[in-house]
């Protein structure tokens, strides 16, 4: 089941309108956030899932959702493949 209002690239909750990315025609994307997706394209088209994990892990630690980077990476290794961008 797809999560509502969760970026399907980085997993960030999108609670405010300004956090939604944009499609090529300028309309809000209900799939990806503004950090991952603008004007109908991913900001970093060459980013791998591991690269996204490396970017997101410190945020989990800062938010208190993981005690350290190792735990954050383990959480994200399980979570990221469930997101649309990384699903196989």
> Per residue in 28-69, pLDDT tens?
999 999 999 999 999 999 999 999 999 999 999 999 999 999
CA 50 centroid distance within chain: 12
pLDDT bin (cut points 50, 70, 90) of residue 88 is confident
Predicted TM-score (pTM) of the model is: 0.89
Average pLDDT value over all residues in the chain: 94
Distances (CA, A) of 1 to 53, 82, 84: 22, 9, 11
Angle at CA of residue 84, ends 80 and 88, nearest 5°: 80
With 50 as the cut, is the pLDDT of residue 2 above it? no
Percentage with pLDDT > 90 across the chain = 93
Tokens 């899932």 identify what position? Answer: 49
Other CB atoms within a 10 A radius of the CB of residue 8 amount to: 20
């Amino acid at each position: 089941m797809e999560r509502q209002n969760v970026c399907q690239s980085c997993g960030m909750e999108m609670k405010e309108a300004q956090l939604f990315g944009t499609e090529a025609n300028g309309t809000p994307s209900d799939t990806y956030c503004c950090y991952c997706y603008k004007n109908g394209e991913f900001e970093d088209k060459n980013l791998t899932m591991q690269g996204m994990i490396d970017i997101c892990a410190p945020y989990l630690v800062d938010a208190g959702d993981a005690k350290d980077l190792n735990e954050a990476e383990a959480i994200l290794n399980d979570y990221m493949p469930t997101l649309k961008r990384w699903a196989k």
